[in-house]
């Protein structure tokens, strides 16, 4: 994954680069084929210094039309279960691995992820959250650098450099599967407990699975 140079910044350390600067670099991005079919770029939204950052897969139909992540039924589901973690939407920052909608909501292609992921990497570095919640397999595979399925990874926290990562089901997928919805809600309760029991700015989980993925993010 390439490192993106943000004009005016030498090192691009944690919280050094503003989200608006990253959006400016993105401009009318044409780095992959999804630029030809998108309606809007869906950059991300929320608290620029959030303690919890959510990472999804890619915009869907409603997100593409409105230019915002997690609107429509998946967004309503997410908004509802945030309260299980003691959070509201304004507390968190939400972005996707891809900023443009794949046609017919197909899975992201490897070259699309490669082209777009430097934007996400800089967003994470800018927000510098304690906890990254990955929603669904593509986001989890990208962040944790693994091919292991979400059902095996969810239900616990993973320490990854500076960050604590909580993989869970995508709220859209959980709407189609009541058993997954129950597990999704259990994960959000687990997140609320973690946030209540750990001091802000010291994201550590005793006994968490270790990963050296994305070392530059956690340095
Ligand atoms: S998906 Fe990402 S890399 Fe591709 S055109 Fe959209 S913003 Fe650019």
Dist. CA 92–CA 219, nearest whole Å: 22
Tell whether ligand 1 has an atom less than 6 A from the beta carbon of residue 166: no
pLDDT level of residue 210 (50, 70, 90 thresholds): low
**What is the mean predicted confidence (pLDDT) over 109-136?**
97
How remote is the CA of residue 117 from the centroid of ligand 1, in Å?
9
As a whole number, mean pLDDT of residues 42-46 equals 98
pLDDT at residue 2, rounded to an integer: 59
Atom of ligand 1 nearest to the CA of 26: 7
Give phi and psi for 96, each to the nearest 5: -115, 160
Q: Is 35 in the pocket of ligand 1 (CB under 6 A)?
A: yes
Instruction: Please name which of 68, 56, 143, 47 lies closest in space to residue 96, comparing C-alpha atoms.
Output: 56
25 C-alpha to ligand 1 centroid (Å): 12
* pLDDT tier for residue 219 given thresholds of 50, 70 and 90: very low
pLDDT score of 208: 54
Look at residue 213 and tell me whether its pLDDT is greater than 50. no
> Of 152, 93, 141, 88, whose CA–CA distance to 117 is shortest?
141
pLDDT at residue 48, rounded to an integer: 98
Q: Is 116 in the pocket of ligand 1 (CB under 6 A)?
A: yes
DSSP H or E run through 119: helix 110-127
- At 136-170, the pLDDT tens digits run 999 999 999 999 999 999 999 999 999 999 999 99
What pLDDT does 205 receive? 82
Measured CA to CA, the distance from residue 94 to residue 196 in angstroms comes to: 21
**pLDDT value, residue 3:** 73
Taking CA atoms, 107 is separated from 62, 82, 100, 169, in Å, by 17, 26, 12, 15
Q: Whose CA is nearest to atom 3 of ligand 1?
A: 116
Looking at CATH, the fold of the domain delimited by 19-197 is given as: Uracil-DNA Glycosylase, subunit E (3.40.470)
* Ligand 1 centroid – CA 26 distance (Å): 8
Query: Would you list the domain boundaries of the chain?
Result: 19-197
Task: Give the residue from 186, 152, 150, 181 showing the smallest Cα distance to 168.
Answer: 150
Per-residue confidence (pLDDT) for residue 96, from 0 to 100 = 97
Rounded to an integer, the average pLDDT of 174-191 is 97
Q: Write the residue with the smallest CA distance to atom 2 of ligand 1.
A: 116
Mean pLDDT value of segment 186-207: 91
Query: Of the candidates 203, 207, 208, 210, which has an alpha carbon nearest to the alpha carbon of residue 14?
Result: 203
* Mean pLDDT rounded to a whole number for the chain: 92
Distance CA 115, CA 64 (A): 18
Per-residue confidence band for 216, with pLDDT thresholds at 50, 70 and 90? very low
Please count the other Cβ atoms lying within 10 Å of the Cβ belonging to residue 97.
22
Which 3 state secondary structure label does DSSP give 57? coil
């Amino acid at each position: 994954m390439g490192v993106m140079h943000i004009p005016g910044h030498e090192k691009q350390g944690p919280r050094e680069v503003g989200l608006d600067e990253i959006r400016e670099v993105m401009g009318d991005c044409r780095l992959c084929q999804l630029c030809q079919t998108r309606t809007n770029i869906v950059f991300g939204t929320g608290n620029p210094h959030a303690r919890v950052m959510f990472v999804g897969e890619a915009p869907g139909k409603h997100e593409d039309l409105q230019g915002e992540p997690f609107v429509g039924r998946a967004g309503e589901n997410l908004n509802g279960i945030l309260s299980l973690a003691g959070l509201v939407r304004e507390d968190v920052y939400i972005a996707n691995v891809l900023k443009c909608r794949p046609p017919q909501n197909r899975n992201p292609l490897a070259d699309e992820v490669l082209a777009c992921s430097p934007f996400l990497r800089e967003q994470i570095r800018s927000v510098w959250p304690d906890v990254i919640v990955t929603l669904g397999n593509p986001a989890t595979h990208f962040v944790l650098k693994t091919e292991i399925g979400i059902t095996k990874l969810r239900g616990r926290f993973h320490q990854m450099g500076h960050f604590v990562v909580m993989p869970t089901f995508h709220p859209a997928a959980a709407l189609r599967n009541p058993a997954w919805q129950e597990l999704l809600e259990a994960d959000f309760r687990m997140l609320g407990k973690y946030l209540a029991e750990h001091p802000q700015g010291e994201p550590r989980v005793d006994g968490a699975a270790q990963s050296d993925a994305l070392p530059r993010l956690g340095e």
